[in-house]
Structure 1
Amino acid sequence: MMFNGYNEELVQTIKGWLQEDVGSGDITTRTTIPQGHESKGIIHAKEDGVICGIPVAELVFEIVDPSLVFTPLVQEGEQITKGTVIAEVEGSTHAILTGERLALNLMQRLSGVATRTSAFVRELNGLPTRLVDTRKTTPGHRMLEKYAVRIGGGANHRFGLYDAVMIKDNHIKGAGGIRQAVGRARANIPHTMTIEVETESLEQVEEALSAGADIIMLDNMSPALMKEAVSRIKAKSPHVKTEASGNVSLETVRVIAESGVDVISVGRLTYSFASLDISLDLNARKEEQSI
């Protein structure tokens, strides 16, 4: 399972999302379909993409009704085409229809993130540069969206404000300079924690180097300026990692990577994606889904 087992936080979150949608009960299903009615739901893709969220959808249906039988028919992270049957869910019609929308919503969003990430990863084919996400995630969905980035072939940046020091422009202003900010952070963090500094010019790069930054972010620099910055950093402190950030698109990501940066962080992976169109049909034959 993707999260080292179903953790309680995710279970409780899904229960809250179900409560938001179901409330006191699915009145349409309850008033139109007899109790005890059973069906098979066929979950299928209506467009091409990278599928993600199958275990999450399974968990939704399990929470709604543990007797439902959920059968995945493709692998998590698989590149699928329009019409592909992703999974089947069989059992109580009431339970299937009650969990349908949440299960599909989550799969659609996560598949959208994975599909977009995969497109960026393809642009970096053959280069050593690592693609990572940012904290620009949907509130309440960070764990899932960052999971989808990994499924799409990317990697995760810090998960929150608590697990790494990232000194950005406003921290620099508040501290009175890069040297002051790095010095204070170094004096107050464990020796195992790294310090990253955001820079916007070669002068700031030099200051971050002399201050002892572990990672230097090159923010909104041109590819030429970025290449010069990487050259200076590697010449003076080969162990210092470099990260490119700002205005990264599918059209520019490879050029940015060719500057020699170690990492490229892309907020678009989790804030500017299109959900994959996925549907569920009751009792439909598999061959009907491609029509």
Structure 2
Amino acid sequence: MACGRLSNNLLGILNAIMFLLSVPVLGAGIWLRARADGTECERYLSAPVIALGVILMLVSLAGLVGACCRVNCLLWFFLVAVFVLIFVLFAYTVFAFVVTNKGAGEAVSGRGYKEYKLGDYSNWLQKRVENNKNWNKIRSCLQDSKACKKLQEKTWTQDQFFRADLSPLESGCCKPPTSCNYTYVGGTNWTTAATTSADPDCKAWVNDGTALCYGCQSCKAGVAAAIRRDWKRAAVVDIFCLVLMAIVFSVGCCAIRNNRRDNNNGYRGVWKQGGNA
């Protein structure tokens, strides 16, 4: 019976923590949705954030009430929800590792940054980035978020720029490919000239701050590289979350088993008292 009290108390504490965590998640999603000056990207991202916050809140409330009040039907709902979350998270983690197992930036001689080729990444990533409908949304997000603003504000010399450690997005979307042999002027401005390079991105590049190389294959490759990097990081966090949810699931199973045992003991006690009477 002590184990029963311990499992219910521990489950209640874990769910109280989960509930507290769901509040800022839900609040962040609502804030992104309500921002008057929010970008299209922020509004697009608000939907899954709100959904995650609501799910966490409902699941944690069910587990909290079920554990504290010993309501087995709520605990069963909680366990089913946690099991589904474990399954979805496990499937996503495996998928993320499979999709991100290919691709890396190519070092360029005399440069601190790397350059990216879309063909180096998994077929799934290539198809998603190449899709015109998807790319139009991504391009809009890149423009709204001013992905190249940091570089536009730099007052580097050419040597300083060449030694810079640029992010995949900055390398792919905010400058022309090195093979174009354009001359660096400053910020995101380059002196374009006739080039013998066969790279179509050389013709796609413009100095206009709203366009730059957002229509280039190198930009799509930079986005693929950024997705690969972020998904790999997320997959590592997911493994930790899987272990944590597995522990919560085990504690929940223990709480239900002990609640059932306590209820059975209570029924036996009532039956014995009735028999003695």
TM-score with structure 1 setting the length: 0.27
Higher strand share: 1
The structure whose Rg is larger is 2
Higher helix proportion (structure 1 or 2): 2
TM-score under structure 2 length normalisation: 0.28
